Amino acid sequence: MKRNKSLLKVLIASITAVGLICGTSISAFAQGRYEFDVISDTHVGHSSTDITNTTLALNCIKNKFPDSKCIVINGDVVDNNQKTSYDALYNIISNVNSTTTKLPYIYFNYGNHEFRANASDSSSNYTGNLAYFNQRTRDIQARLLGNKGNVTINERTPGSSYDMQYINKATNDRLFFLGTDYIPSGNTDNSYLDPNTQLYQLGLAINANKTESINTGIKKPLFVFSHQPIANTVWGSETSRNWGNIIDSDQLISKLANHPEVITFTSHIHKGFTSGANADDFYSLGGNDSWGNIFSTSSVSYDPNSNPAPAQGYHVIVWSNAVTVQAIQYISNTSYNVISSHTIYY
């Protein structure tokens, strides 16, 4: 087993080096079980930058990662709950998908901005805005996006703040989307996850995933998406900053405990991926089996906190016994750089 892991590390290192040099698709050089992409904080409706950068990111994924099973946009998809913002999102995806080469299926998680009438609003019509988000994103999925294979397209339960899909039907590999159950009064930046509903369902999914891995002999990761970060994990999630996080994060952590196969993606804090000494800012708790593995997704739309420029995301490759998560800078419609890479064995 150690020898196999060493060989896999060498292979992944070689692939990453090739990607850094020429920005070519990883799938051209090695066969993973499947691949997918994660972006976040597109904030469509904020300014012209969000249209430019979201279009750039989607075009680059479409052209350079043709084997990607799906894209996850992990919250703050739009900057507010206005019709004009959702119309702009529809037009972006329609334009990117108008050529012969098509986008993979897109899953939309929701963040705090979907509940705001404007970017600085601290009040919310939770029920109405959740229903509108589900209606408009489902319309985009149904009218503009076809299934390129092996992902499930299930309707989100009306009024539900969470959702589960399967990215790989052959092995039932799960994507679990967490969403806030109510907006705390006066603070739409925070998120509350009800332990009796979605966290309970997450626990069931984790246990089912583990049981299937044992019964089938196929190692199975489970991918969890939450817009707000778990408190005091990745950069920017410190409670002292008061930028917003998951209220009662300990209840989520208890579900992740001792499950290294669970890989969690959070967003919200707009920290750009960097290289060199700060390359690990986006990654927390690597190798800590007690909390799983947590990645903080950069903002596509705008990043007031750091350089380089936004239009960044993750490319995820699932192997037979490992997951490689690459931090990507989208350079153009046909080129990208790999800023940093982490491989997790499970």
- Name the pTM for this structure: 0.87
- Whole-number pLDDT of residue 22: 38
Distance separating alpha carbons of residues 65 and 148, to the nearest angstrom: 13
- pLDDT tens digits, one per residue of 50-109: 899 999 999 999 999 999 999 999 999 999 999 999 999 999 999 999 999 999 999 999
Cis bond upstream, residue 308 (ω within 30): yes
Please, what is the Cα angle at 40 between 287 and 302, to 5 degrees? 115
Residue 20 has which token pair? 């850094």
DSSP assigned state of 71? E
Beta strands in 41-172 (DSSP E): 68-74, 105-109, 163-168
Q: What CATH code is assigned to 2-345?
A: 3.60.21.10
Q: How far apart are CA 110 and CA 161, in angstroms?
A: 9
Does position 300 have pLDDT exceeding 80, yes or no? Answer: yes
Q: Which residue has the tokens 């087993």?
A: 1
Higher pLDDT, 189 or 89: 89
Residue 175: per-residue pLDDT: 95
Residue boundaries of the structural domains of the chain: 2-345
